[in-house]
Structure 1
Amino acid sequence: MLRTVVSRWAAAGTWRAPAIHTIHRAVCLSVTPESGLADEMLHVRVQGLSPRNPVTLRALVIDEEGRLFDSCAHYAADSSGAVDLHRDASLGGDYTGVLPMGLLWSLSPSVMEKPYQRLEKKSVHKSPMVVEVLVHEGHSDPKALPGAVLAKTKFQRLFIAPGVRRIRLREGAVRGSLFLPPGNGSFPGVIDMFGDDGGLVEYRSSLLASRGIASLALPYFAFEDLPPAMTEFHLEYFEEAANFLSRHPKIQGSGVGVIGTGKGADLALSMITFLPQVVAAVSISGCCANTAAPLNYKDLTIPALTYNMSRVQISETAVFDVSEALDDPLDPANSQCLIPVEKAQGSFMFIVGEDDLNWKSSVYAKAAVSRLQENGKNNYKLLSYPGAGHQIDPPCSPFCPIAVDRVLGVPILGGGELKSHCQAQEDSWQKILNFFHTHLK
């Protein structure tokens, strides 16, 4: 029944709800900002409850594919009948403790949906993500029917700021979307890539542009006329993208940056190593070696580390642990697969979760740093987060320790713990922005 109500509301089109909506006049729920960027903090307050009144707060989101995601937390009103998520601790539900953003952090597929789906914004330019928050009487289990609704409200999460321009690219061989910040510019320019799911992923690029950094969301397979699978890589494609961005009239300075997650991270390391126009690279949960397929550039070929599927473990709940599947890049037999990062003239930032169970990104980052140090380099920053898992996204992104791999079609263990992982997302995001603003002048 709850899903039917939410679905009808979502299908109704543009909504004009006030910032505060109450069911019982005595109880008032507010969420600020009512409409803000997806990387902004929220302030959730409830007033008008009875002293010590137990309540359950729930968040509901319907994604662009019509799937319902929800979260809940148990609170008790203070002596004045108020709950403030910046001050009060959740006593149960999907998280415990004082977590002001916990309702967003813990959003996961509803019990009626397929598990292990990731809540991601795909059409960043078409509409904001709309979240409904409800206050229910009493404490209810996340999978049980909640108590009576005392108050509810809706708010918007924007993935693209007003004035940001989105330009779809078919420039030579390059495909993707260019996001330009508002104003006349010029701006720092960054190429943004993700992992082996393929396709065009825009939510980080749109947020970078919303924070003053022009960003090219760059797919490299499984999109339009690009190769359908990762069989081989040609660095010339990424070089063409870097040349396009560095020559764009809205881009400042004499070089561009690159940010990548997973496979996109080792491509970022290869770009800053071999392409002089790339002067700053952020590697998130990446490897120090070339992975997945051989990388070709002019007369150079870097072979790829291979995966040994016999080392994959499958749990009783059919979750795949692939943390040991990749061949060891530090084995001398695999030295030809290593990316010679010491040749790079630019600056590096490595971001890893120490509980990454997708692969050993913390070990790989330390190996890359050691290689830089051994060659007298100090052009790096390592951010290593205890308790964080694999997919370190912009702030307020829901924590997804297990996610269905879009290529394999099975749930893959990513690791991490909710509070530590989401705090790593908050901390690293601001440092990423500062890094690019500093090194791309």
Structure 2
Amino acid sequence: MKKIKKIFFGIVSVVIILVVLVFSLRMYNDYKYKDTNALNFPEYYKDVTNISLYPTDIDGVDVTYVDEGRMQGFRFLPKEKSHKGLVVCFGGSEGSPNFENAKILAKEGYETFALFMFGMKNQAQTLTKIPLEQFEDVINYINKNIKDNKPISVLGASKGAEYALNLAYKYPEIDNLILISPSSYNFAGLDFNDYGSSWTYKEEQLPYIDIKQSSFSSFLKNIIVPTIIKSPISYKETYESAIEQDSSSQEKLIPIKNVKANILLIAGEDDLMWDSLAMAKKIKDQNPHAKIYSYKGAGHIFAGNGVLNLGRIRIATGGTIEGNDKAKSESRKTIDAFLKENHK
């Protein structure tokens, strides 16, 4: 009986110590990251699918909403269009249409579109099994409504870059690609209730890296423990581990060897969401004409101090304030030069 009591009190003591430790670490991390992240996100980031939150009164640019089948998003027409063709922008897993980049380019004289990949009318409602064919509605709209419609450049960030790379493989109408924090693989979608590939084509799911198959130790270290103690979650090792565990990972690479589009790849060398620089190099391995620009001290989103505070959780995006600010400025110049060269 004494032995049982001793074991019982030992277990209780360990539980109490663990609870105190977790509570202390949560308090410490709340204090450590209390000023993270003072990013000035636009108002629409509160609800990216609420089109009434997007500012359409922009000096020198006419902004209209396009509701054309599966083509959903904003058209920016400069009052003085100074570059040939147009630029189509897509955002990332947050579901935004990359409105800010489209607005910046429109003010520089490009006709641009900021388009949703999912979440809107006639589209997949979550980031899973998104049909690549919805881009055909974009091509049809461009052909019907824009006389000066060549060249076509597509700019995508993060999951939007993964999407854009697939589009260039399927649709030769795309002349130029700008891929920010890119992926060279097709990964699983981010709806765990309707799990599967991020993308489909002709109603078939594209082969994908299953992120559920990442190593448990990586998942525990980088996601479970940080969630419990409120330290920043890093997804980079989870993605890397899922690739390593997949014996057929080569079949999940986006096949762009024969893509004729000019490709610009932008990556932060300290990306903690996924290893965008390594994947940019894999894209270049397939398509040697692709150009890579990488930035030291920069993370996934080229903003803030490398930690994104979402309230209940914190996400490690990578980089420092100085490195991200510098990368944002320098990459902007790189993108401008690429577009000017290809939209003469």
TM-score, length of structure 1 as denominator length: 0.59
2:327 is the counterpart of 1:424: yes
Contact 1:184–1:250 (Cα < 8 Å) also in 2: no
Residue number in structure 1 paired with 2:279: 364
2:136 is the counterpart of 1:239: yes
Residue number in structure 2 paired with 1:91: none
What displacement does 1:185 show? 6.2
The 1-side partners of 2:205 and 2:38 are apart by: 36
Residue number in structure 2 paired with 1:171: 68
Contact 1:179–1:215 (Cα < 8 Å) also in 2: yes
The 2-side partners of 1:299 and 1:412 are apart by: 33
Contact 1:242–1:278 (Cα < 8 Å) also in 2: no
Contact 1:279–1:440 (Cα < 8 Å) also in 2: no
Contact 1:199–1:223 (Cα < 8 Å) also in 2: no
1:120 partner amino acid? F
Contact 2:81–2:109 (Cα < 8 Å) also in 1: no
Q: Give the superposed CA RMSD.
A: 2.8
Residue number in structure 2 paired with 1:286: 182
Residue number in structure 1 paired with 2:210: 306
Residue number in structure 2 paired with 1:415: 318
After superposition, the C-alpha distances for 1:108-145 in whole angstroms (9 at most, x for unaligned) are xxx9x885464222355267xxxxxxxxxxxxxxxxxx
What displacement does 1:410 show? 2.6
After superposition, the C-alpha distances for 1:369-399 in whole angstroms (9 at most, x for unaligned) are 11223xxxx2x2100111110013xxxxx52
Please give the secondary structure, in 2, of the residue aligned with 1:192: strand
Please give the secondary structure, in 1, of the residue aligned with 2:237: coil
2:40 is the counterpart of 1:119: yes
Residue number in structure 1 paired with 2:17: none
After superposition, the C-alpha distances for 1:65-96 in whole angstroms (9 at most, x for unaligned) are xxxxxxxxxxxxxxxxxxxxxxxxxxxxxxxx
Residue number in structure 1 paired with 2:10: none
Residue number in structure 1 paired with 2:297: 387
Contact 2:68–2:137 (Cα < 8 Å) also in 1: no
**Aligned partner (choices 312, 319, 322) of residue 235 of structure 2:** 322
The 2-side partners of 1:330 and 1:277 are apart by: 36
2:260 partner amino acid? Q
CA change 1:124–1:423 in 2 (3 A) is farther
After superposition, the C-alpha distances for 1:183-215 in whole angstroms (9 at most, x for unaligned) are 266743111111111144411111110111111
Q: Number of paired residues?
A: 285
More strand by share: 1
Higher RCO (CA 8 Å, separation ≥ 6 residues): 2
Q: How does 1:58-137 map to 2 (within 5 A)?
A: 115-116=36-37, 118-121=39-42, 122=44, 123=53, 125=55
What displacement does 1:357 show? 0.6
1:357 partner amino acid? L
The 1-side partners of 2:86 and 2:245 are apart by: 33
Q: How does 1:251-266 map to 2 (within 5 A)?
A: 251-253=148-150, 255-266=151-162
The 1-side partners of 2:164 and 2:106 are apart by: 19
The 2-side partners of 1:185 and 1:348 are apart by: 22
The 2-side partners of 1:438 and 1:115 are apart by: 38
After superposition, the C-alpha distances for 1:281-337 in whole angstroms (9 at most, x for unaligned) are 011111101123332223764222222374331434332111111222796521221
**Aligned partner (choices 242, 248, 258) of residue 343 of structure 1:** 258
Contact 2:83–2:343 (Cα < 8 Å) also in 1: no
**Aligned partner (choices 97, 103, 113) of residue 206 of structure 1:** 103
After superposition, the C-alpha distances for 1:387-424 in whole angstroms (9 at most, x for unaligned) are 110013xxxxx525112469xx6321001012122111
Please give the secondary structure, in 2, of the residue aligned with 1:286: coil
CA change 1:222–1:301 in 2 (3 A) is closer
Please give the secondary structure, in 1, of the residue aligned with 2:165: helix
CA change 1:301–1:208 in 2 (3 A) is same
Please give the secondary structure, in 2, of the residue aligned with 1:344: coil
Contact 1:186–1:251 (Cα < 8 Å) also in 2: no
The 2-side partners of 1:171 and 1:364 are apart by: 34
Please give the secondary structure, in 2, of the residue aligned with 1:120: coil
**Aligned partner (choices 156, 162, 165) of residue 269 of structure 1:** 165
1:381 partner amino acid? K
Please give the secondary structure, in 1, of the residue aligned with 2:103: helix
What displacement does 1:243 show? 3.6
The 1-side partners of 2:262 and 2:60 are apart by: 30
The 1-side partners of 2:65 and 2:98 are apart by: 12
What displacement does 1:440 show? 3.3
Identical-residue share of aligned pairs (%): 25
Q: How does 1:142-153 map to 2 (within 5 A)?
A: none
Contact 1:195–1:262 (Cα < 8 Å) also in 2: yes
The 1-side partners of 2:341 and 2:331 are apart by: 15
